[in-house]
Amino acid sequence: MDEIFELTGAERVARRHDRENALCCGAAILGVYRERAPKYQEMNIEDALRSGAEAMVTLCPMCYRILSKVAPKCGLPVISITDLCRMALGEKTFPGK
């Protein structure tokens, strides 16, 4: 991830829930612990916002799908890693611009 961010010119903000401490988007537990999933999503989004993130970049298509439903409501666009690369190539623009 760090190398992709560096190559695309994106800044990876320091977050509490990142790398070894990363949180699941909640999709993996939806079927069994449906009531817990929103808590993980909320913690993830709040951490990103508190850390100064301008967007949430996801590797996983399921994370993209789940977080895209809630993060934009908090002012945090969700971008797939492939779209981040396309933005660096000039094929796409930052969401909302």
Note whether residue 19 is domain-resident: yes
Note whether residue 97 is domain-resident: no
- Taking residues 47-75, what's their average pLDDT? 93
Neighbours of 43 (CB within 10 A): 14
Q: Quick check: 92 pLDDT over 90?
A: yes
Tell me how many domains the chain contains: 1
Note whether residue 94 is domain-resident: no
pTM for the whole structure: 0.84
Note whether residue 12 is domain-resident: yes
What is the reported pLDDT for 96? 72
Quote the domain boundaries for residue 82. 2-88
